[in-house]
């Protein structure tokens, strides 16, 4: 049985994905993948550039159709997941907001209280009437992350959420994410390993097409796979 669009209920949920097999040019990119995220949890997804992290996030969200891929919520099929209202949102690496919308207009479309979403970032207050192209790359990225964090979904998927964001804002954004996980599940993929590890309750490593769930000492396991935490 599948979730029907518009009927996704509130409450604790578990999001799972498996059966994802993706190859590019005959080269396997994703195989033997099992991913689990639950509400009340931040899950980190690490891996080298080109390892398939973005492809995995796109598949879970439903932007990339993959034969036999299974995405489930509480054991019930949800493919493509984005068609189930209130289930999840997704920030890709590329800009998300339409160029013609101001931040205030985008917030209204997402039904987000913009004053609340930006309360801890006073630098943004003077720019709420600006369009994404009128902002610096880091400021636009921060605004998009905040809008999705505060949107009313059970899960949020983020691909490089810290990209270009000023260091002075990273600590505050981390607090925002910790607060958001009290009401939703977060899946973060970012090359800034330190920030991801500090936030995550569970960490996965995508390595040579396989997804590994790391244990109590993820830094040691990352080192064993030849990764450097910087």
CA angle (54 as vertex; 48, 55 as ends), nearest 5? 110
Residues 167-180 have a mean pLDDT of 96
pLDDT the model gives residue 228? 58
Q: Determine the Cα–Cα distance for residues 129 and 112; give it in Å rounded to an integer.
A: 15
Tokens of 199: 């936030």
Question: pLDDT by residue (tens digit) across 125-160?
Answer: 999 899 988 999 999 999 999 999 999 999 999 999
Q: Give the strand pairing for 210-213 and 42-46.
A: unpaired
Rounded to an integer, the average pLDDT of 60-65 is: 93
Show the tokens assigned to 38. 């639950």
pLDDT at residue 133 in the model: 85
Residue spans of beta strands (DSSP E) within the chain: 14-18, 22-24, 27-30, 34-38, 42-46, 70-73, 76-77, 88-91, 155-159, 185-189, 202-207, 210-213
The phi-psi region of residue 208 (left if phi > 0; otherwise alpha if psi is between -120 and 50; otherwise beta) is: left
By DSSP bridging, strand 185-189 and strand 155-159 are parallel
pLDDT at position 10 over 50? yes
- CA dihedral sign of residues 194, 196, 201, 203: negative
Give me the half-sphere count of Cα atoms (radius 13 Å) on the Cβ side of residue 120.
15
**Would you give the end-to-end CA distance of the chain in angstroms?**
44
Tokens for 76, please give them.
Answer: 């019930």
Look at the domain 14-96+155-224 and name its fold.
Rossmann fold (3.40.50)
The predicted structure's pLDDT at residue 229: 46
Residue that wins the pLDDT comparison between 208 and 61: 61
Write the pLDDT tens digit of every residue in 76-95: 999 999 999 999 999 999 98
CA distance 60 to 206: 15
Query: Can you point out the beta strands (E) in 70-171?
Result: 70-73, 76-77, 88-91, 155-159
- 41 CB contacts (<8 Å, ≥6 apart)? 181, 185, 186, 201, 202
Main-chain dihedrals φ then ψ at residue 97, nearest 5 degrees: -75, 140
Map out the domains of the chain as residue ranges: 14-96+155-224
């Amino acid at each position: 049985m599948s979730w029907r669009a518009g009927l996704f209920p509130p409450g604790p949920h578990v999001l799972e994905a498996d059966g994802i097999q993706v190859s590019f040019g005959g080269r396997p990119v994703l195989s033997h993948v099992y991913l689990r995220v639950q509400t009340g949890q931040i899950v980190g997804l690490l891996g080298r550039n080109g390892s398939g992290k973005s492809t995995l996030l796109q598949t879970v969200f439903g932007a990339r159709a993959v034969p036999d891929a299974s995405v489930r919520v509480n054991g019930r099929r949800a493919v493509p997941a984005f068609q189930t209202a209130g289930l999840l949102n997704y920030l890709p690496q590329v800009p998300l907001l339409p160029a013609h919308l101001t931040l205030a207009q985008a917030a209204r479309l997402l039904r987000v209280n913009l004053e609340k979403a930006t309360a801890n970032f006073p630098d943004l207050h003077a720019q709420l009437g600006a369009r994404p192209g009128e902002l610096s790359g880091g400021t636009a990225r921060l605004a998009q992350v905040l809008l999705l964090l505060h949107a009313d979904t059970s899960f949020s998927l983020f691909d490089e959420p810290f990209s270009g964001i000023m260091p002075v804002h990273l600590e505050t954004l981390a607090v925002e994410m910790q607060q958001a996980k009290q009401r939703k599940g977060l899946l973060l993929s970012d090359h800034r390993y330190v920030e991801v590890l500090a936030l995550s309750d569970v960490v996965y490593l995508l390595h040579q097409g396989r997804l590994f769930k790391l244990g109590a000492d993820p830094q040691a396991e990352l080192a064993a796979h030849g990764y450097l935490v910087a």
